[in-house]
Amino acid sequence: MRRYDGESRHPAAGWWGGFVLCAALAFGGLAACPTPVPPPPPPRPPAPVEPPDDPNVQVETMGSLSHDEVRRTFQNAAPRLVGCYEQGLRRVRNLAGDVRFHVGVARDGSVKWAFVEASQLGDHAALECMLQVVRGTTFPRPRGGDTEAVFPIELDPPDAVAYPATWTPNQVPEIDGTYRPEIDACLDGSSGYTLTLYLATGGLVQEAGATPPDADHQAQADCLAAAARTWQLADPGPGGAKVTLAF
């Protein structure tokens, strides 16, 4: 490879010598030489070689939806979501709480996956009904590809309904004793769950609802809620009680 490092006398000398020879031949009656061509530029450096994919490096390309587009989509689904809640009120008169949905939206606007990211509603059937509504919802097409959306709602019973007493986890020691094997069997070593219980007079669990850490652990949350509905805890008294536990 020829090196051009700022000292141009050698290439220039060679070019100049060729020019003198051609001028002499032309003067003697011979055909003139073609115009000399300057030396070629230095070759380009080779293109960088892409390293092999590293499984520890994750690049995620996300599209986008506006807040207004997400809000309007959930507003359109509101009558069906309220219908799920009203079914729950037939089971638990003072059913109330927040529900925060986390939704994966495909580039065509369909729902790829959905789960309840957080909730203190505490009714498994109502939450599952709402998830079915959300999974069947169509969003506007995201700009730039698949995207995710999070949307919270708050549900309250009629004003005339009294709220149950609010318990703390310390008032439910059975979760670390009697019922711990059932809990561990459901969760299978995973974590990041919440479980909300409604306790009736006598300590029976009237209703339960659980939320998973992500969409891939919905079965574990369902197992936890089903197990909890068979529990009997301390008697909360005539007004009942509500407690939210974390696992």
Look at residue 82 in the predicted model and tell me its pLDDT: 95
Q: Could you read off the pLDDT of 86-102 as tens digits, one per residue?
A: 999 999 999 999 999 99
Q: What is the pLDDT of residue 63?
A: 84
| All domains of the chain in start order, with CATH | 62-160 (3.30.2420), 164-247 (3.30.1150)
What's the confidence (pLDDT) of residue 161? 83
DSSP conformation letters of 15-83 = HHHHHHHHHHHHHTTSPPPPPPPPPPPPPPPPPPPPPPPPTT-------B--HHHHHHHHHHHHHHHHH
Cα–Cα distance, 167 to 102 (Å, whole number)? 27
| Mean pLDDT, range 210-217, rounded to an integer | 96
**pLDDT confidence tier of residue 25, bands split at 50, 70 and 90:** very low
d(CA 148, CA 62): 8
Q: How far apart are CA 117 and CA 111, in angstroms?
A: 15
Per-residue confidence (pLDDT) for residue 61, from 0 to 100: 46
Residues 242, 165 contacting (CB under 8 angstroms): yes
Write out pLDDT tens, residues 39-64.
666 665 554 444 454 444 332 347 89
Is residue 236 within 8 A of residue 166, CB to CB? The reply is: no
CA of residue 76 relative to chain centroid, distance: 23
Task: Tell me the mean pLDDT in the region 143-171.
Answer: 91
Mean pLDDT calculated for residue range 170-183: 95
pTM above 0.75, yes or no: no
| pLDDT surpassing 80 at residue 72 | yes
Helices then strands, counting H and E runs in the chain, come out as: 5, 7
* Interatomic CA distance for residues 125 and 207, integer angstroms: 9
Top-confidence residue, 31 or 117:
117
Confidence bin at 230 (pLDDT 50/70/90): very high
What is the mean predicted confidence (pLDDT) over 186-205? 97
DSSP conformation class of 102? E
User: Which regions of 92-246 does DSSP assign to beta strands (E)?
Assistant: 97-105, 111-119, 147-155, 165-166, 194-199, 205-211, 241-246
Which of 163, 183, 164 has the alpha carbon at shortest distance from 175?
Answer: 183
Residue for token digits 């999070």? 150
Q: How many residues does the chain have?
A: 247
